Amino acid sequence: MSKSKFSVKTIVAIGIGAALFFVMARYLSIPSPIPNTTFGIQYSVAAFMTVLYGPVAGMLIAFIGHMLNDMAAGWGVWWSWVIASGVFGVLMGLGVRGMKLDEGEFGVKDAIRFNVVQIVAHCICWGLVAPVLDILIYNEPVEKIFLQGLVGGLGNILATAIVGTILCFAYAKAKPKKGSLTKEDSTEE
């Protein structure tokens, strides 16, 4: 299980992570009261997988998943938000460096850190990156863009806080701890 940036495993994780991101975005997003803005459950998956596979993987999972979803949906590719998704992955990954979720460790301290990082990352992405890009590209009214960013950002924070945290805890529990196996049940079945 080497964690070098581009091991085959990381490539596969990016591909499958992006597929999961896509499916969540398409089938599980919950519309918010503000038009064209949804609560993105997909970010909880991106955040969880970023903890496991690092910032580069996180960036690509969110970027590719978001881009493919925009392409399939038909409303054009909304690059400003696609890029912001990618930035979320990077920030998340930098913030959770050194966590050992892949070894089955995820305690209350980790959960707090995970959530602080995700809140900060979402705030930067939807409060700063996406609106600034939107203003540059479309020059839309600042208030409108920030309201969309705020609602979307809050929705994403809430989704990541609940679903993302549950995912991390459940994964840590499902992962057998190092040296605790007596029978080869992880590879044989």
Q: Which of residues 150-179 bind another protein (CB under 8 A)?
A: 158-159, 162-163, 166-167, 169-171, 173-176, 178-179
CA 120 to chain CA centroid, nearest Å = 13
Q: Which residue lies nearer to another protein by CB, 41 or 121?
A: 41
CB-nearer residue toward another protein: 92 or 159:
159
Range 21-40, binding another protein (CB under 8 A): 22-24, 26-28, 30, 34-36, 39
Nearest to 64 by CA among 22, 95, 36, 104: 22
* Rounded Cα distance, 87 and 43, in Å: 12
CA–CA dist 172, 47 (Å, integer):
15
Phi-psi region of 85 (alpha: psi -120 to 50; beta: other; left: phi over 0): alpha
Of 3-11, 81-89, 92-100, 110-118, which segment contacts another protein by CB under 8 A?
3-11
Beta bridge partners of 31: 38
Closest C-alpha among 49, 40, 43 to residue 16: 49
- Among the listed residues 18, 47, 92, 130, the single contact to another protein using CB under 8 A: 18
Q: Which is nearer to another protein, 109 or 174 (CB)?
A: 174
> Measured from the CB of residue 73, what is the shortest distance to another protein in angstroms?
7
Find the distance separating the first CA and the last CA of the chain, reported in whole Å: 19
Q: Among residue numbers 41 through 60, which ones bind another protein (CB under 8 A)?
A: 41, 44-45, 48, 60
Binding to another protein, residues 64-123 (CB under 8 A):
64-65, 68, 70-77, 79
CB of 119 to another protein, least distance (A): 16
- Cα–Cα distance measured from residue 185 to residue 171, given in angstroms and rounded to the nearest whole number: 17
